[in-house]
Amino acid sequence: MGVSALTVSRFFNHPERVSEELRQRIGEAVSALGYVPNLVAGSLASARSRIVGMVIPNISGPIFANTIQGFSDTLSRHGYQLLLASSYFSPEQEENAVRAFLGWSPAALVVTSHFHSEGTEKLLAGTDIPVVEIWDYQPERAPIQVGFQHYDVGEMAVRHLLGKGYRRIAFVLNSAAGDFSALDRRDGYAAILEAAGLQPWNFVPSIGSAPFEAGKEAMETLMQGTPKPDAIIFANDNLAAGGLLAAQRMGLRIPDDCAVMGFGDYAFAHMLLPSLSTIRPPSLAIGEMAALRVLESLGAIATTLPVQRLNRLECQLVEREST
């Protein structure tokens, strides 16, 4: 093929340093030969893995899909690959995943939010690889921060509803136990209501119930009680969708009888009837920025500045028919 071993190594480890013509030639040869590089041997030789571990609360949840994709796409352009695990909001499962990842000597580690077990905190503090916390923003913490403050999201949601004249505003928590970020959003909601002289109103669905069922349960219980809310903030769009569907079966008019607000701006939010007002998190930007910070920390991307540890992003309120 007329290409040096060093160039082939760069093709796998630093493809951005190989010309397009050489990448094409090497890629064709790799495909023809069915060659698979021994990444374990490569990491032993270089004392650095090409794998980055990420632990998120829920792989099947649509809210994290863009983050995962943006992170993986950005890594792969620089010869790194994503290894993914789900904690499903369990601090114990997260700790098990972090411990397992560290046993494989990853290049870096990404975890979600700052609600970790004591064991996970010790593991993160004891490692010498880059650690990034995503989907949250806690500047006092040591890991690189890429995300936003959920407390602010709760404030944003209730300010929107207060501005439209709603006063009896309920907050429906996640049916998944351990979603502490939703509790932060609830606290922001409660603070604004109390400052306005109004009473916070929380509803906790049956723990472990499917999101649509939990939203249905919340809507039926709240709207069949006395007094009734004139607006409901749901912890995520899945819950809100279940609430909207239940409202239709109950013959309620949304938003005339009760406004509905979600969080996440899932792909179906604008297609619901009525379309769902929600708050859109910067999910893709979180994944892309977290990957860039990892790559900068590893020296895979050249930078003359120190790696930016604090990376605050903003959410966007999307007003639709349900409010």
Q: Do 214 and 206 contact (CB within 8 A), yes or no?
A: yes
What is the pLDDT at residue 141? 97
Residues contacting residue 57 through CB under 8 Å, at least 6 positions apart: 64, 86, 87, 88, 89, 112, 176, 178, 179
**pLDDT, average across residues 51-62:** 92
% pLDDT > 70, the chain: 91
Nearest CA-CA partner of 215 in 237, 185, 230, 186: 237
How do residues 191-221 score in pLDDT, each as one tens digit? 999 999 999 999 999 988 999 999 999 999 9
The structure's pTM equals: 0.85
**Both structure tokens of 224:** 């069949």
Structure confidence by residue, pLDDT tens digits, 253-270: 999 999 999 999 999 999
- DSSP secondary structure code for residue 277 in this structure: B
User: In order of start, what are the domains of the chain with their CATH numbers?
Assistant: 1-37 (no CATH), 46-148+284-313 (3.40.50.2300), 150-280 (3.40.50.2300)
37-43: list long-range contacts, CB under 8 Å, 24+ apart.
37/12, 42/12, 42/13, 43/105
pLDDT at 46 over 70: no
pLDDT at 237: 98
Q: How far apart are the first and last CA of the chain?
A: 64
Q: Compute the distance between CA of residue 251 and CA of residue 220 in angstroms, rounded to an integer.
A: 11
Average pLDDT, the chain: 92
User: Given a cut of 80, is residue 36 above it in pLDDT?
Assistant: no
What separation in angstroms does the CA of 221 have from each of 4, 205, 243, 247, 322? 70, 10, 10, 11, 19
What are 268-301's pLDDT values in tens digits?
A: 999 999 999 999 999 999 999 999 999 999 999 9
* Beta strands 231-234; 278-280: pairing state: unpaired
Q: Helix, strand, or coil here: 286?
A: helix
User: Rounded distance, CA 65 to CA 69, Å?
Assistant: 6
The reported pLDDT for the residue numbered 31 is 55
Gap between the Cα atoms of 233 and 241, Å rounded: 12
Structure confidence at residue 37 (pLDDT): 55
Q: In whole angstroms, how far apart are CA 86 and each of 71, 92, 132, 136?
A: 15, 11, 16, 17
Q: Give 323's pLDDT tier (boundaries 50, 70, 90).
A: very high
Cα distance between residue 242 and residue 151, in whole Å: 24
42: confidence class by pLDDT, cuts 50, 70, 90: low
Q: What's the pLDDT at 44?
A: 52
- The pairing of strands 278-280 and 316-318 is antiparallel
Q: For residue 18, what pLDDT band results from cuts at 50, 70 and 90? A: confident
Query: What number is the average pLDDT over the span 113-132?
Result: 96
The pLDDT confidence band at residue 303, using thresholds 50, 70 and 90, is: confident
Dihedral sign (CA 73, 75, 80, 81): negative
318: pLDDT strictly greater than 60: yes
DSSP three-state, residue 284: helix
- With a cut of 90, say whether residue 32 has pLDDT above it: no
pLDDT tens digits for range 158-197:
999 999 999 999 999 999 888 999 999 999 999 999 999 9
CA dihedral 102, 107, 110, 111 (to 10 degrees): 10
Task: Give the residue, 25 or 10, on which the prediction is more confident.
Answer: 25
Distance, CA of 110 to CA of 298 (rounded, Å): 14
Which tens digit of pLDDT belongs to each residue from 57-104? 998 888 999 999 999 999 999 999 999 999 999 999 999 999 999 999
- Residue 304: predicted pLDDT: 86
